[in-house]
Structure 1
C-alpha cells in the first residue's frame, strides 16, 4: 500500500473514535439515569450504520456519474459490489487501486456513522432504543447515503486529479460560474444534514416531561469535557483525511493549512461562546467552553482548506457567539432539542458553509472575485440539504411513532430509561 492509503486508514481510525466522543459528550449532558441509554444510541449507530455502509452504502455514496440514467447518477448501484467483495478479492491479490477503494470505504463509513449518531442528541431522556435503530438505518439509506453522493462523489484522472460527479459538486459549472461549491469535509452532508434531522425528530417526539432551562443541568461535566477533547482530536482526521481521499493535497487543499484551521477556529469559538455566557449570566461555564469548541469544529468543517487562519479565527469567534445565542432560542421557540444538535450543528454548519461566500481564498466576495457567485453556490446546497433531511427525518419518525412508538411512556421517563430499556445504571454506588 502507498502512503495515501495508509493515511486514509489512520484518518478513518481517528474519525471512528469521534463517535465514542459523541457518546461521552452527550452522556455527560443528560441526567444520570439516562447516561447508558444516551451512549447506547451512539454505539448502536456504530453497529448498524457501519454494517449498512459496507454492504451497499459505499456503492450509493460514491457514484461515478457516467450513467445516462438519473437514478444511477443519484443513487449509484447499491449492489454493484455487495459487501465490497470484488474490491476485497482484488486487494488480497495485491491490487493497490483496490486497496485504496477499501481505504476510502473505511474512511467514508466513519462519516456515515457519526452523522447519524449526532442526531440522537435531540431525543435524549425519552427515546426507545430499537425504534431509534430503525430510524437510524432508514435515515442512513434514504438521506445520508444519497446526500453524501451529492457532495463527495468523484472520479480521478490518471494524475489523481478529482472531478466531482454529484450535483452539488457540479453546481457552479451548471450555473456557468467560475467557482464551484466548497464543502471540504461535510458541512452540508454531515452537520446540516444531522441538524435538520434533529429538528424534525425533536418536533415528532415532543418535549420531555420536564423541559426548562433551569432543569437542563449536565450530570457529569468532566465527561462532557472528555467528549469534546476526543472530538477535537478525531476531527484532525475528519478534516485532513480528505486531502488524500480526493487526491487534493497540494492542489485545492493543504493538510498543514487544514490542521492549523482545525486548531484555531475551535479555540476562537470557545472564547466567543464563554464571552456571551459571561455577559448573559455572569459566569463562563465548562460546558459552554466545550460547546464552543464543538461549534468551531462544525463551522470550520466545510471551510478548513479554503480560509486563511485570520478568517478562521473570525469565523470561530462568530460561530461561538452565534451558537451560544441560538441554543437559548429553543426555550423561546418551544422545541426540545435536548442536547442542542440544532443550535450547534445546524446553525454552525450553515454559518461555516455560507461564510465561504464572503471569505474563501481567491473566490470569496471580500477575498477574491468581488461577486456573489461563491455565496450563491454555498446557499443553494445548504438550503436543499436542510429541507431534504428535515422532510425525510420527519416522515420516517412519524411512521415509526405511529406504528411501533418512538418514545418511552411518561412513567418510564420519570423512573429513568437506563434501567427500563437496558437493565443497568450508569453508576453503581453500592
Structure 2
C-alpha cells in the first residue's frame, strides 16, 4: 500500500503554468508560417509574390485537417516496428479526455497535439521556397497532402515518437533538425531535380523584389522560433527550456555575423539579404542541438552554420540545380551541420547526460547523429522525388513556359501583389469604375 501511495504521489498532474506556456509556444510556432510566407514572398520577383505567400498559407489549411484526421495518430500513436504509429483514440482527436495528460508530462494531450501540429504545418511550407515561380498551385496542394502523409508523419514518428527507430537509437533532435529541416531540405532537392529549372535560370536577373518584406519575415521567424525551440521541452520546470531559449538567441546572432563577414570578404558588402539568411541558418542549426550544448557551444555552432550555409548557397550555380530561395543551402545544410555538431559539442549537462567528443564522450553520439541524418536525408529525397514525378506525370507539376514568363500570380490566382494602376488587384475587384468626365480625362493627359 505504501508503494502504491508513493507511485500515485509521483504521477504527473496537470500544470496550469506549463499548459499555458505550451499554448503560447504553439501560437508562436503558428506565426512562423506567415513569417516564412513574408520571408519567401519578399525574395521572389513581383509577379510571383502572391503565389509564394499562398504556398505557405495553404499548408495551414491542408496539414491541419490531415493532422486531426490521422496525422497525429501516425506520428505519435502506438509504435509499430519503429516505423509508424497508430492509435484509434487519436483518429479525429476523438478519444482524448480534456485533462488527459501526454504520457510523462504535465500538459494535456490536446496541447501536445496542437504544438506538434504547428511543426507539421511549417515543414512542407519550407519546401516551397525551392520551387518558386513555376509550380501549379493545385499540384503543390496535392504534393503537400501526399508529402505530409508519406514523409513527414513517419519521419516525425522515427525521431520523436516512443518506439521510433531514431528515438530508440538515441539520435538527439531537440526541436527538428532532422524531422523538419533536413527533411524539408532533402525534399526540396528531390522535387527540383524532377521539375527542373526556372525559365532564364543563370541568365535573367532574379533578385528579391522587397528586401523589407524579407527582413520582416526573418524577424517573425526569429521571434516565433523561441516557441519552436524552447517549447520543445514541453515544460519549464528544470531550466532546459531556458537553456534552449538562450542558445537560440546566441547561435542566431553568431550565424548572422558569420554570414555577413563571409559576404563582405567574398562580395564586398554587408547585405540585408545576407543578414536575414544568416539568421535563419543559425536558427536551423541550433534547433537540434541547443538543448545539449552550452552558450559557448551555441556560438560555435551558429558561426560554423552561418559560414557553411553562406558558402553552400552558391552550389546551385556550380551543379546546375535551381533551388530558387536556397532551401537546400540553408535548411538542408544548416540542419545537417547542427545535427552532426551535437556529436562534438554536447556537454552532458543539458537535456541528457550524453557528452560529445569535445567533452569526453568519444564518437558514440556522433555515429548516432550521422545515422539519423543519413537515413532521413535519403528517405525524404527519394520519396519526395517519386511523389513529384507521379504528380508531374498525371496532372502536371509545372505551369507552361508562357505562363511562367507572364507571371504565376495572374495565372494561378488572378491577382497581383501590387496595384500600380489603381484599378484593383484582379478577380477580387468586381466593380468597374465609371468613365471619367471629358474635362478630367483631358486634364490627366496634360498632367502626363
Among 291, 303, 318, the residue aligned to 1:305:
291
How big is the shift at 1:311?
1.2
- Show the counterpart of 2:21: 7
- Show the counterpart of 1:410: 401
How big is the shift at 1:212?
2.0
d(CA) in 1 for partners of 2:49 and 2:87? 36
Among 355, 359, 368, the residue aligned to 1:367:
359
Which stretches in structure 1 are left out of the alignment for 5+ residues?
155-164, 172-179
Among 47, 53, 58, the residue aligned to 2:67:
53
- Show the counterpart of 2:11: none
Any residues of structure 2 matched to 1:175-214 within 5 Å, and which?
A: 180-212=170-202
TM-score, with length taken from structure 1:
0.90
d(CA) in 2 for partners of 1:139 and 1:291? 26
Among 420, 423, 426, the residue aligned to 2:414:
423
After superposition, the C-alpha distances for 1:207-266 in whole angstroms (9 at most, x for unaligned) are 001112871310000000000000000000000111126xx852xx61211111010101
| Structure 1 residue ranges (4+ consecutive) displaced by more than 6 angstroms after TM superposition | none
d(CA) in 2 for partners of 1:43 and 1:320? 28
How big is the shift at 1:284?
1.1
> Do the aligned partners of residues 95 and 298 (structure 1) sit closer, same or farther apart at CA in structure 2, a change above 3 Å counting?
closer
- Number of aligned residue pairs: give it: 398
d(CA) in 2 for partners of 1:301 and 1:193? 13
TM-score, with length taken from structure 2:
0.86
d(CA) in 2 for partners of 1:298 and 1:76? 26
d(CA) in 1 for partners of 2:337 and 2:237? 25
Asked if 2 retains the 8 angstrom alpha-carbon contact of 1:213 and 1:331, the reply is no
Describe the SS at the equivalent of 1:425.
coil
d(CA) in 2 for partners of 1:50 and 1:201? 23
Question: Quick check: which has more Rg, 1 or 2?
Answer: 2
Describe the SS at the equivalent of 1:76.
strand
Matched, 1:291 2:277: yes
Any residues of structure 2 matched to 1:314-333 within 5 Å, and which?
A: 314-333=300-319
Matched, 1:149 2:157: yes
- Show the counterpart of 2:343: 357
Asked if 2 retains the 8 angstrom alpha-carbon contact of 1:63 and 1:166, the reply is no
Asked if 1 retains the 8 angstrom alpha-carbon contact of 2:89 and 2:95, the reply is no
d(CA) in 2 for partners of 1:268 and 1:418? 37
d(CA) in 1 for partners of 2:268 and 2:203? 16
How big is the shift at 1:78?
6.0
Describe the SS at the equivalent of 1:170.
helix
